[in-house]
Amino acid sequence: MVESVAIITISDTCVREPNKDTSGPALQNTVQELYPKAIFLTDIIPDEKGVIQENIIYYADEMNIDLILTTGGTGLSKRDVTPEATREVIDRDIPGINIAIAVESLKITPMAMISRAVAGVRKNTLILNFPGSKKAAIECFNIVKPILSHAIALIKGDAKEVTLTHQSIQKSHICPHEESNVDITKVAFRPRESPYPMISMTEAFSIADDAIKSWFRGFDVVGVEEGLGRIIAKDVTAEEPFPPFPASIKDGYACLSEDGAGPRTVRAAVTAGDAPETPLRPRECARVNTGAAIPPGADCVVQVEDTKLLSASEDGKTELMVDIIVPPTLQQDVRTVGSDIPLGAVLAHRGAILDAALAGVLAGAGVLKIEVFKRPRVALLSTGNELQEPYEPKLKPSHIRDSNRTMLRLLLREHGYESIDCGIARDEPAELGAALRKAFAASDIVVCTGGVSMGERDLLKPVLLQDFGATLHFGRVKMKPGKPTTFATCTLDGEMKYIFALPGNPVSAYVCCLLFVVRALRLATGLRPYEWPRLRVRLAHDYTLDPRPEYARATLHLASDDGIPVATLIGNQRSSRLLSACGATVLVELPPAGETKRIEAGSILTALITGRLNCSD
Ligand SMILES: Nc1nc2c(c(=O)[nH]1)N[C@H]1C(S)=C(S)[C@@H](COP(=O)(O)OP(=O)(O)OC[C@H]3O[C@@H](n4cnc5c(N)ncnc54)[C@H](O)[C@@H]3O)O[C@H]1N2
Ligand code: MOO
Ligand SMILES: [Mg+2]
C-alpha cells in the first residue's frame, strides 16, 4: 500500500518562477490516479547538491515517505547534479529500474541515452529520479508503475501485500483473472477534473505513430483474389511480355506499310486466337480482328473504315481484293510485343495496395500467389452495462443495442482490415479485465469503445493502468468528436499489445477509428502514405465553431463554378447521431473557435476524403 509520496521538482528556473513547473503537477496528477488515497507533498528546490540531499534525507528519515520522485537535473548540463546527490544518500541502488526506463524510453526518443537517473532505497523510502520534461517524467513513471506497489511493499516489509503480489504474479502476469485492483466503491473521491492533459491531434498522431511504426511481423503468402486491400511486400516482375505477340488494335487489315495506299490481295483472315504462320508478301494483306495476332511480315493495321472492297467471291464469303485508301504508317494500330508490359517490368511495387486492377494485372501475368505484409490482428470490444446485442428480440428498460461493433467491423473492412469480435463487456472492473485479457490474447491491437470519460463506471483507464500495468500514452485529445480518446500499450506474456480505447458515442468511435485506428493499421502494414488525402471544399452553410477542432461528416456536390466541391454537413453533428456519418464522403476539418466563433457559408476549408463519392443531390 503506497500511503505517502513526495514529488520534488529540481530546477533553478522553477525556484525563481514556480509557475514554470509543469512536470511536478503533471506527475502528481498521474501518481494520484494510481494511488488516490495517498498523501502528497510537493517541493521545488534548486540544482544544488547539498539542498537536494537535505531534502531527500528529510522526506525519507523525518517524514518516512514511501516514495520520493524527483523531476529534473538528470541531464548533462553543468548544473545537473540530481543523480550525484541521490547516489550519495541512498543505502542501496536498484539499477534494473533505470535499465527498464532506458529500454522503454529509447523506443520513444534517443535522448533517453543521456539521462543519468538513479533509483535506490534509503531506509524505508524508494527514491526515483525522473527527467525534467513533463512528457518524459510521465513516461518514466508509466514504465515503473507495474512494480511500484510491490517494490514499496518489499521495502516497508509489508508482508500481506508482498504475498498478494506474488500470488497474483503466479496466477497471471499483472493481475489475477477473476479480480481487479480497481476500487469502485469510493465514488466520492473520483477525480473532478480529468488527470489526462488534452493533447493536440498532431501530438496524439505522433505518439501513436511512434509506438506503432515498428510493428512488423513478416509476410503472408496469399492467393491474389484473397489479397484485396493487402500491401505488397516485394516487387513482382513480369515473366512474360504483354502482349506476347504483335496484336491488332483495330478490326481491319494487316499490311506492309511501305506498300502505301492502293489495292491489296486479301491473303488470309485472322481472328483472335489464330496463330498465323505464313508471312505476308508485298501488296498482300490479311483481314484481322482487334486482339488478333498480325501475320509475320505485316507491320501495320488499316482499320476497315479506311478501306474499300474491290472484289469478292460470288457467294460473298471471301474477300479477294481491297483498296487501302489512307496510306498507313509503320506500326500503325499494332500493339508490339511487350508494349503494354515489357518482359521484366515491375508489375507491383513493394508497398502497393492490391486493388482490383492490380489483381487483374497479376492474373494476366499468371501470378496466382503474392507476398504481402502481415496485418496486425484487431479485436473489437464494446463496453457498457446498457448494451444489448443487436439481434436480441426486446430491449430491456434503459438499454440500447450495441451499434459500435457492427459499425467498426464494417468500417475497418471497408478500408481493408478484418477484425475479431470480442463481444460486450460490462462496466465491472474484473469483467472488463477478463474481457480485455481475452481480446489481448486474440489480437495485437484492441479497439474498444466506451468507458473512457469521467463517469464512475468509466473504468477502461483504471483497469488498464492498475490491472494490466499499461502505459497510457494519452487519455484526452483536443478534437470533436473524440475528446476522451485513449491510447495505451502493455506487455502481456512478453508481447507488446496496443489498445485504442475510443469513446462510446457512435460518431466519436467512427471518426476516431478513421483517424487513429485506420492510420495505425496502415502504418503497421507498410502502407505509405498513411494520411487521408485532403481536398479543398466550400462549406454549404454557416456553422458555429467548437473550441476543439471538429471533424464534420459531409457529402460533396461537385458542381460549383470554380470547381471547388461544396460540402454539405449531414444534419445534426451530435456525437450520438450516427446518421450524420451515413453516406459521408469527407470529414470537413473545422478549425477551433478563436476570435472567429462562427464560420460562414461559402468559406473554403479542407476535408479528408474518408468515404466514397456519393451522388447526394
Ligand atoms: N463530465 C464529463 N462527461 C463527459 C465528458 C467529459 O469530458 N466530462 N466527455 C463527453 C464526451 S466528449 C464523450 S465522447 C463521452 C465519452 O463517453 P465514454 O467513452 O465514457 O462512453 P460511455 O460513457 O460508455 O458511453 C457514451 C455514450 O455512448 C453510448 N454507447 C457506448 N457504447 C456504445 C455502443 N457499443 N453502441 C452504441 N452506443 C454506445 C452510451 O450508451 C452513451 O450514450 O463522454 C461524455 N461525458
Ligand atoms: O468528444 Mo465527444 O466524442 O464530443 O462526443
Ligand atoms: Mg462515460
Of the pLDDT bands very low, low, confident and very high (cuts 50, 70, 90), residue 172 is very low
Query: SS3 string of 362-412?
Result: HHHCCCCEEEEECCCCEEEEEECCCEECCCCCCCCCCCEECCHHHHHHHHH
Give residue 82's domain range.
4-168
Q: Do both 543 and 433 map to the same domain?
A: no
Which pLDDT does position 159 carry in this prediction? 55
> How far does residue 468's CA lie from ligand 3's centre (Å)?
20
Q: What span, in angstroms and rounded, lies between the C-alpha atoms of 504 and 449?
A: 5
Q: Do both 204 and 234 map to the same domain?
A: no
Q: What span, in angstroms and rounded, lies between the C-alpha atoms of 36 and 445?
A: 29
- Which numbered ligand comes closest to the C-alpha of 511? 2
| 375 CB within 6 A, ligand 2 | no
For residue 405, the ligand 1 atom closest to its alpha carbon is 35
> How far does residue 605's CA lie from ligand 2's centre (Å)?
21
Tell which one of 486, 512, 575 to mutate to probe ligand 2, the residue whose CB is within 8 A of the most ligand atoms. Answer: 575
Q: Do both 65 and 205 map to the same domain?
A: no
Does some domain include residue 578?
yes
> How far does residue 483's CA lie from ligand 2's centre (Å)?
5
> How far does residue 454's CA lie from ligand 1's centre (Å)?
9
| 482 CB within 6 A, ligand 2 | yes
Which pLDDT does position 170 carry in this prediction? 41
Q: For 190-217, write each residue's pLDDT tens digit.
A: 888 999 999 999 999 999 999 998 788 8
Share of the chain above pLDDT 90, in %: 81
Q: Do both 161 and 137 map to the same domain?
A: yes
Q: What CATH number does the domain containing 353 carry?
A: 3.90.105.10
Of the pLDDT bands very low, low, confident and very high (cuts 50, 70, 90), residue 263 is very high
Q: What are phi and psi of 71, to 5 degrees?
A: -130, 125
- Which numbered ligand comes closest to the C-alpha of 194? 1
Q: By mean pLDDT, which of 64-73, 162-171, 240-249, 475-484 is the weakest?
A: 162-171
- Among 306, 335, 364, the domain-final residue is 335
Q: What span, in angstroms and rounded, lies between the C-alpha atoms of 520 and 205?
A: 9
Amino acid identity for residue 458 in this structure: D
Which pLDDT does position 166 carry in this prediction? 46
Q: For 586-595, write each residue's pLDDT tens digit.
A: 999 999 999 9
> How far does residue 175's CA lie from ligand 3's centre (Å)?
24
Q: Do both 392 and 494 map to the same domain?
A: yes
Does some domain include residue 183?
no
What's the mean pLDDT in 47-70?
Answer: 93
Residue identifier of the C-alpha nearest atom 4 of ligand 2: 481
> How far does residue 453's CA lie from ligand 1's centre (Å)?
7
Does some domain include residue 179?
no
Q: Do both 24 and 122 map to the same domain?
A: yes
Tell which one of 407, 453, 500 to mutate to probe ligand 1, the residue whose CB is within 8 A of the most ligand atoms. Answer: 453
Q: Do both 125 and 261 map to the same domain?
A: no
Q: Do both 361 and 320 map to the same domain?
A: no
- Which numbered ligand comes closest to the C-alpha of 504? 1
Please give the grid coordinates belonging to residue 45.
528546490
For residue 451, the ligand 1 atom closest to its alpha carbon is 20
Q: What is the model's pTM?
A: 0.70
pLDDT: which is higher, 27 or 177 = 27
Q: Do both 381 and 489 map to the same domain?
A: yes
On whether ipTM exceeds 0.90, the answer is yes
Which pLDDT does position 171 carry in this prediction? 37
For residue 511, the ligand 2 atom closest to its alpha carbon is 3
> How far does residue 590's CA lie from ligand 1's centre (Å)?
22
Q: For 562-584, write each residue's pLDDT tens digit.
A: 889 999 999 999 999 999 999 99
Q: What CATH number does the domain containing 566 carry?
A: 2.40.340.10
Residue identifier of the C-alpha nearest atom 31 of ligand 1: 504
Q: What rounded mean pLDDT belongs to the chain? A: 92
Angle among Cα 218, 224, 228 to the nearest 5 degrees reads: 80
Is residue 226 scored above 60 in pLDDT? yes
Number of domains in the chain: 5
Q: What span, in angstroms and rounded, lies between the C-alpha atoms of 480 and 53?
A: 47
Sign of the dihedral defined by the CA atoms of residues 175, 176, 177, 182, in that order: negative
Is residue 173 scored above 50 in pLDDT? no
Q: Are 479 and 514 in contact (CB under 8 A)?
A: no
Q: Do both 158 and 263 map to the same domain?
A: no
DSSP 18: G
